[in-house]
């Protein structure tokens, strides 16, 4: 049981490049989400999904796309990277239910130059 | 919309002393409250959650949290701090709708030997 797996762990991009951050979970969780963590800003929600085929925007969705074609995977796409997207990105998953805690991956540290 | 505030960026405490990390929240309706801990270069780990009707909730690693409805607070406590408790702590809240979890900005706890 690997939990939530994020790849890659580190990535450096040039401005304008695109890439996909991968997230996979093996706990059969319906809910998945992407957060970014910046110093002094806490965690801010980018996008989330309550099930396969369903996605919604969070607090800071601009510049990011997501899709949820399977229960297990929830990739985050950066369409045209900008220095403001330099951050640590966390994927999290959880069961349905208001009181269900989230399970987090170990993060992807992204630098855009 | 729900929100959570952690008024202290940093809390310093001597090893063996009690610790408190503060959290206040705002939701419409009943709150679903959580505490998470983050160690360096890792994702967030679930510590504990509020259970309706229990004003004192016990969690992992000897931590507990005190819920106060009139003050809309959910402070994290531990009777005797350890150096290994040094980490970044996040409070989070959601309401009973199909809304995602909202995190505070985090409080860095430093336990000094």
Cα separation, B94 vs B103, in Å, equals 9
Residue A98 has pLDDT above 80, yes or no: no
B-chain residues within 8 Å CB-CB of A103? 46
- Yes or no: say if A110 and A88 are a contact pair by the CB < 8 Å rule: yes
Termini Cα distance of chain B = 41
Cα separation, B92 vs B102, in Å, equals 5
Per the prediction, chain A carries an average pLDDT of 95
For the stretch B2-39, pLDDT in tens is 899 999 999 999 999 999 999 999 998 889 999 999 99
Among A27-36, A54-63, A98-107, B73-82, which stretch is predicted with the lowest mean pLDDT?
A: A98-107
For the stretch A5-53, pLDDT in tens is 999 999 999 999 999 999 999 999 999 999 999 988 889 999 999 999 9
Residue partners of A92: CB distance under 8 A and separation at least 6: A4, A32, A33, A34, A35, A102, A103, A104, A105, B43, B44
- Suggest the residue from A30, A31, A43, A90 to mutate for an interface test with chain B (most B CBs closer than 10 A): A43
| Residues 7-66 of chain B whose Cβ lies under 8 A from any Cβ of chain A | 9, 32, 34, 36, 41-46, 49, 51
> Closest residue of B to A99, CA-based?
B32
Residue B103 and residue A42: Cβ atoms within 8 Å?
Answer: yes
What is the token pair recorded at A4?
């939530």
């Amino acid at each position: 049981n690997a939990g939530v797996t994020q790849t890659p762990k580190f990535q450096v991009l040039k401005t304008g490049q695109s890439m996909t951050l991968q997230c996979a979970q093996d706990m059969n969780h319906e809910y998945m989400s992407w957060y970014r963590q910046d110093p002094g800003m806490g965690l801010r929600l980018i996008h989330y999904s309550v099930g396969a085929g369903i996605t919604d925007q969070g607090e800071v969705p601009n510049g990011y796309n997501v899709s949820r074609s399977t229960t297990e995977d929830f990739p985050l796409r950066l369409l045209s990277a900008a220095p403001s997207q330099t951050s640590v990105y966390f994927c999290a998953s959880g069961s349905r239910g208001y009181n269900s805690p989230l399970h987090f991956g170990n993060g992807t540290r992204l630098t855009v130059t | 919309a729900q929100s959570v505030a952690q008024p202290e960026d940093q809390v310093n405490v001597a090893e063996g002393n009690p610790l408190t990390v503060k959290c206040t929240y705002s939701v419409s309706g009943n709150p679903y409250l959580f505490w998470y801990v983050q160690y360096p270069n890792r994702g967030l780990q679930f510590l504990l959650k509020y259970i309706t009707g229990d004003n004192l909730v016990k969690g992992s690693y000897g931590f507990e949290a005190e819920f106060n409805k009139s003050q809309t607070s959910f402070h994290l406590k531990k009777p005797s701090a350890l150096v290994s408790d040094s980490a970044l702590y996040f409070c989070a809240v959601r309401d009973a709708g199909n809304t995602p979890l909202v995190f505070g900005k985090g409080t860095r706890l430093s336990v000094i030997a």
